[in-house]
Chain A
Amino acid sequence: MKKLRPLPNFSRLADWAAEAIITIAGLAVILTLAAMPALMLKEAAPLFLPPGLKPLGKIESPEKLDPGQVAALIVSADLSGKNRAAGLLARDGRLAFAVPGEGGMAFLPWRPLTGSAAAIRQAENLGGGKFSLLREDGVLNLAQIDLEFASDGKGGTVVEPAARILLEVEMGGETAPPLYAMLRGDGASHQALAVYADGTVREKRLAPPRGLLRRGGGIASEREARIRLPASLSAAALNRSGDTLYLGTGEGDLIKVDLSGDSDSEIAWEAVPAFPDRRPVTALAFLNGDYALAVGDGLGGTSVWFPRRENGEFRLRRAVAWPIGGGAVEAITPSLRDRSFLSLRRDGSLSWFHSTTARELLAVPARNPKPGLLAVSSRGDNLLSLGSDGNLEFQAMDSAYPEAGWNGFFRRLLYEGYERAAFVWQSTAPESGEPKLSLVPLVWGSVKAAAFAMLFATPLALAAAVFLSQFAPPAWRACLKPVVEMLAAVPSVVVGFLAALWLAPLLESRLRFFLGDQPYDQRNSLVIAVALGFAVIPNIFSLAEDAISAVPNSLAAAALALGASKWQAVRGVVLPAAAPGIFTAVMFGLGRAVGETMIVLMAAGNTPIISLSPYNGMRTLSANIAVEMPEAPVGGVLFRTLFLCSLLLFALTLGINLTAEILGHRLRRKYGSP
C-alpha cells in the first residue's frame, strides 16, 4: 500500500485562511457590538460639557471711545462662526465698523448715521439688524444696521456694512423727553412706547408705512396711562411682542404694565415690591421667549421673575435668585438662542446665568480693563465687549446645551408659568418655548410599566411553571411547554394593537360602571399590566420551568420517602433548590419588560406623567425614543438627549441582566443542588 503523501499545501492554506477569516469576522462583529455604547456615549457626552468663553483677540480702536460714549455695540458672525465683524454706534450718531481684511480686523472710517442730529440716549438691539434708538430730543428711530458676509470670489469673505434709518416717531413729552422709549413691530405695523419720569406711559400705534416715511407718519392710534410711581424709575424693559412692559424703581419695586389688548382698551398696571431691603433695580431685560424677566439690583444680585399661577391668578413672582456682590448690576444681556443671559456688574465681573436650570454657567471675575458694554451675536456664538480702555474684544461663546445636564435632566425645576417646581418632559414646545427635558417622568414611566407588568406576569408564570413541571402529567409538558413558548413568538406590535384597540376600550366600558366620575384614561397602567405581562410571561415561564425541572428527582424522592406529600416535597425541597433559576428567570423577564417599546408606545397613552394611579398611562424611556427621534434635528439638544435615554436604557437592561447572572451564580453556589 502506498504511503500517504504529506498534506497538500492547499489544505494547509485553507486552514490558515479559514482561521484568518473567522478571526477577522469574529472580532469585527464583537467590536461593532461593543461600539454601540461607545457611539451613544459620544453623542450624549456633549450634553454634560460645561459652557465656555474663549478670548479670541482684541481689536485696537483708533479712536478710543469710553463706554459711556457708546450707545450700542453690533456684533455679527458668518455661518461657520469663524469670521466676525463688529460695529460701534457712538452716542453722537457716528458709526464705526471693524471688518475682517488682510492681516486681521481693520477699522473702517467713521460714518454718520443719518437722522436727527440729537445725541442717542438709548439704543436697543431688536435682532435682525434692527435697532430702536431714542434721541435726546425725544425722537424714536428704527435703524437697520447690517453686517452681511459675502464671498469675495476668491475663497475669502468680505463684509459690507450698511446702515440707514427706517422710521422716525416723535415721542417728546410736554415737559421733558421720555426717560425710556422703544419701538416694536415688523415690517407692516409698528408700536412706539414712551415712559416719562412722572409715570406717564404713552403708546402710539403706527399705520403701515408706504415707502420710506421720515417723520411721525401715519399714527393710527394712541393711548396713555398714568402710573402712580412708588419711587423714581431706574430701569425699563419691553418684550419683543410689545405687550408687556416692566419698570424698575430706585427703591426696589417692579411695575408690570399690561399693553396687550387693542387700542381702545385700558393700560393696566401693577406694582410689586421686589426687594424687602428696598435696594434699587438697576437693570431689566426680557429673556429669550419673551416671558421671563431678568432683574439686576444695586447690590449686584441677579434674579429672574415671571408671572406664576397662584390661587387661580397670575402674579409676578420671583423664580430664582443669585447672590449679591460686585457692585450694582450695570447691564443684562440675554442670549438670543436660549434662556441664558449675561449679568455685568460695576466692578467688571461678569456672570453667565441660565434661568431654567437656575445655574450660574460661568463666572468671569473682574479684570482690567473692565468690560463696559456687551453684545451677543444672533447665533449666540460670539460675545463682543467694549473695555474701559476703549478697545474691543471678541470671545467665543459656547453655551453647550444649558437646558441639559444634571440639573436639566434630574432636578425638579420651576418652569416659566408653572405653579411650582416639577419634573416635566415636554420637548415639543413651540419655537421660543422653554425646553423641558426632565428624564424623571420617563424613568418613572419605565419603572411603573415594568412594575405593573411584573405584578401581573410573575405570579401567573411561576404558578404555571410549577404546575407543569411538578404536578401535571408528563405528557402535558411535552405538549404544552412549546405552546406557551409560542406566546413569545407573537410580535409585540400585534400585542400592542390588540391591547389598545380591543382591550383598552373593553376595560373602560366595564370599569366605568364601578368608577363613576373618577379620572380614567382609556390607555392606562392596567392595560399595560396585561399587555406587557403577556409579552413577558413566556420568558419567565420558560426559564423557571427549566430551572424547576432541572432539580434532580432524587431530592423530591428523598422527601417523599420520608412521608411528605407531593405538595410538601415541592414546596419544601424542590422550589428552594430551584430558587436561583427562578430568580434568574424573573430578572430576565424584568429586563425584557423595561426594554419593550411597541406595546407601551401603543397602549400606554404616551403621556409623560408621574403618578401612582393605575388609571392613567405613562411614557417610558423606550417609547420616548421611538416617538421623538424621527422629528429631532440632528445634533441638537433633543437628539443628544434621546441618545442619553438610549444609553440609560442600555445600562439599565445590562445591569438587570448582569445582576441576574451574577446573583444567580452566587445563589446557585449557596443553595443549589449538589
Chain B
Amino acid sequence: MGDEGGAATGEAIVEARDLNFYYGAKQALFEITLAVRRGIVTALVGPSGCGKSTFLRCLNRMNDLVDGARAVGGLTLDGEEINAGGRDVIELRRRVGMVFQKPNPFPKSIYENVVYGLRVAGVRDRGRLDAACEESLRRAALWEEIKDRLRESALGLSGGQHQRLCIARAVAVKPEIILMDEPCSALDPRSTLKIEELVAELRGDYTIIIVTHNLQQAARVSERTAFFYEGRLVEEGETGRLFTNPARRETEDYLTGRFS
C-alpha cells in the first residue's frame, strides 16, 4: 500500500492500478497498485517467484516476447497507458531502459555497443555519436579505463566492466527510467560495489527501479522499497522505515529471514 511522507518525495512517474498479469492460464501478478516516484531509486524485493521481475518487465513490455503473456489493468507512464493498443513499443523502450542480470554486451566494439541504441534510432551524425559515447561512458565510470580501447571488441572486458558497459549503453539513449533486473547477481563483490556507486550517482537524473534479492543492497541503494510476495504487492514505502518497522507480518518475516 502507498505511504506518504519520508525523505524522498517526487511525483509518480509510473503508476500501476489493479494490474493483473497472466502467462497463458497462469496468473503471475494480482491486483498490483503501486506508484513509482520520479528521480529516486526504488527497490523491488521478495522471495524467488514472487513476481518482481515480471512486474519490472511489464514496464518496458519485454514480457511481450513470451507467448501468451497478457496484462489486464492499468499501467501508465507519465499518465499514458503502457499497454494501450496503439502504443508504440519501440518508443516506450527508449524511454524505459533495461539492464539485465547477465551482462549482455554485443559482439561488437565498445564504441558500437554504446552507440547501438542511437544508431537504431536513426542517428548517423558522427559527432553526435562520439559525444554521446563519451558522456555515457563517463556516467558509467568507465571512460578513463577504456577510452583508448573504444574500437576493440567489447567481449575483451572483464565481467564488472561488461555490466557497466551495459549501463552506459542504456544511458546513451537518454531514457527517463532505468530498469535493473538483479544487475549484480552475476558479479563479484568489488564489481557489485562499483555498480552500486553508479546507481547512487545516476539517481536524480534518472528514475531507477532495481530488482534485487539482496536485502542489504536494497537498503544501501534505494530510497523506497516495495515488497512482493506470491504475485501480490504486500507493502511499499520509504526504505529506512520499511526495514526497521515493517507494517505487515509477511514483510517482517521475510526481512528476518523466516523465508526467502
Pick out which of these stretches binds chain B: A6-14, A387-395, A478-486: A6-14
Distance of A51 from chain B, by nearest CB (Å): 53
Contact B120 A4 (CB under 8 A): no
Contact A7 B118 (CB under 8 A): no
Measured between alpha carbons, how far is A10 from B121 in the docked complex, in Å?
Answer: 11
Residue in contact with A7 in the complex, picked from B121, B132, B135, B174, CB distance below 8 Å: B121
Pick out which of these stretches binds chain A: B69-77, B87-95, B233-241: B87-95
**What's the tally of chain B residues with a CB closer than 8 Å to chain A?**
13
B186 in contact (CB, < 8 A): no
CB-defined contacts of B88 to chain A, threshold 8 Å:
6-7
Contact A3 B174 (CB under 8 A): yes
Known: A11-B120, A11-B122. A4 touches B173 (CB 8 A): yes
**What's the tally of chain A residues with a CB closer than 8 Å to chain B?**
9
B146 in contact (CB, < 8 A): no
Residue in contact with B122 in the complex, picked from A1, A3, A8, CB distance below 8 Å: A8
Measured between alpha carbons, how far is A4 from B92 in the docked complex, in Å?
Answer: 12
B1 in contact (CB, < 8 A): no
Measured between alpha carbons, how far is A6 from B173 in the docked complex, in Å?
Answer: 12
B123 in contact (CB, < 8 A): yes
Measured between alpha carbons, how far is A3 from B117 in the docked complex, in Å?
Answer: 13
Contact B120 A1 (CB under 8 A): no
A5 in contact (CB, < 8 A): yes
CB-defined contacts of B120 to chain A, threshold 8 Å:
11
CB-defined contacts of B91 to chain A, threshold 8 Å:
6-7
Q: Which A residues between 7 and 41 are near B, CB-CB below 8 angstroms?
A: 7-8, 10-11
Measured between alpha carbons, how far is A243 from B174 in the docked complex, in Å?
Answer: 103
- Name the residue of chain A whose CB is nearest to the CB of B174: A1
Contact A5 B174 (CB under 8 A): no
Measured between alpha carbons, how far is A5 from B122 in the docked complex, in Å?
Answer: 9
CB-defined contacts of B123 to chain A, threshold 8 Å:
4
CB-defined contacts of B94 to chain A, threshold 8 Å:
4
CB-defined contacts of A3 to chain B, threshold 8 Å:
174
CB-defined contacts of B174 to chain A, threshold 8 Å:
1, 3-4
Measured between alpha carbons, how far is A567 from B132 in the docked complex, in Å?
Answer: 62
What sequence of 0s and 1s flags, for each residue 119-133 of chain B, a beta carbon within 8 Å of any chain A beta carbon?
011110000000010
CB-defined contacts of B118 to chain A, threshold 8 Å:
4
Distance of B152 from chain A, by nearest CB (Å): 26
- Name the residue of chain B whose CB is nearest to the CB of A6: B91
CB-defined contacts of A10 to chain B, threshold 8 Å:
122
Distance of B257 from chain A, by nearest CB (Å): 32
Contact B90 A7 (CB under 8 A): yes
Measured between alpha carbons, how far is A8 from B120 in the docked complex, in Å?
Answer: 10
CB-defined contacts of B173 to chain A, threshold 8 Å:
4
Distance of A14 from chain B, by nearest CB (Å): 11
Measured between alpha carbons, how far is A5 from B88 in the docked complex, in Å?
Answer: 13
Measured between alpha carbons, how far is A11 from B121 in the docked complex, in Å?
Answer: 8
CB-defined contacts of B122 to chain A, threshold 8 Å:
5, 7-8, 10-11
Provide a sorted-by-A list of 23 A–B residue pairs whose CB atoms are within 8 angstroms: A1-B132, A1-B135, A1-B174, A3-B174, A4-B94, A4-B118, A4-B121, A4-B123, A4-B173, A4-B174, A5-B121, A5-B122, A6-B88, A6-B91, A7-B88, A7-B90, A7-B91, A7-B121, A7-B122, A8-B122, A10-B122, A11-B120, A11-B122
Q: Which residues of A contact B (CB under 8 A)?
A: 1, 3-8, 10-11
Q: Which residues of B contact A (CB under 8 A)?
A: 88, 90-91, 94, 118, 120-123, 132, 135, 173-174
Apart from A4-B174, A5-B121, what 6 extra A-B contacts exist at CB < 8 Å? Answer: A4-B118, A4-B121, A7-B88, A7-B91, A7-B121, A11-B122
User: When A and B form their complex, which 4 residue pairs have the shortest distance between CB atoms, in order from nearest?
Assistant: A8-B122, A4-B121, A7-B90, A1-B174
